[in-house]
Amino acid sequence: MAGTFKFELVSPERVLVSADVEEVLVPGEDGDFTVLAGHAPVISTLRPGVIESKPSGGGVTRIFIDGGFCEVTPTSLTVLAEKAHDIAAMDKKTIAVQVMAAEAVLHSSDATDEQLRAAHIAIGHLKWLDSQAN
């Protein structure tokens, strides 16, 4: 299958995606980047955000992750996410719970600078998801 590569998205609970895809948009720590077949090898930390994958059969799959890291090779992309949520399955109640968890981090006296930064980013993405949810 020319132009495709193996994409796996794994959270501590389960494998969420294991598919041949044409393209994946990844929320890297230093900015979003797109992975295509033949990509140079990369290992990157990930910030909270949306991973968009385009399967070889068409369409787009969107998964919200709370952070993690990824490994890119010319033939594969593996994302290990701290937490992952299928956007299509998220409703306003689920999103509200996630926003409250991120806000709790902001009010925590024990939170590190990195945790505070991740919580701010997560809240921004979750509020965007809330505007898109049913």
- Tell me, what CATH number does 50's domain have? 2.60.15.10
DSSP state of 14: -
Co-location of 51 and 108 in the same domain: no
Co-location of 66 and 11 in the same domain: yes
Q: What pLDDT score does 132 carry?
A: 65
Q: 22 CB contacts (<8 Å, ≥6 apart)?
A: 3, 4, 36, 37, 54, 55, 56
Co-location of 24 and 51 in the same domain: yes
Co-location of 66 and 79 in the same domain: yes
Co-location of 40 and 65 in the same domain: yes
Residue carrying the six token digits 């501590």: 12
Co-location of 53 and 116 in the same domain: no
Domain edge (last residue) among 48, 68, 86? 86
Q: What pLDDT score does 81 carry?
A: 94
Q: What pLDDT score does 72 carry?
A: 98
**Please, are residues 95 and 62 in contact by the beta-carbon 8 Å criterion?**
no
Query: Which residues does the chain have with pLDDT short of 70?
Result: 1-2, 132-134
- Structural domain count of the chain: 2
Say how far apart CA 63 and CA 61 lie, in whole Å. 7
Proportion of the chain in helix, strand, coil states, percent, rounded to 5: 30, 45, 30
Strand partners, 36: 23
Using DSSP's 3-state secondary structure scheme, residue 119 falls into helix
Say how far apart CA 114 and CA 122 lie, in whole Å. 12
- Domain limits for position 107: 90-132
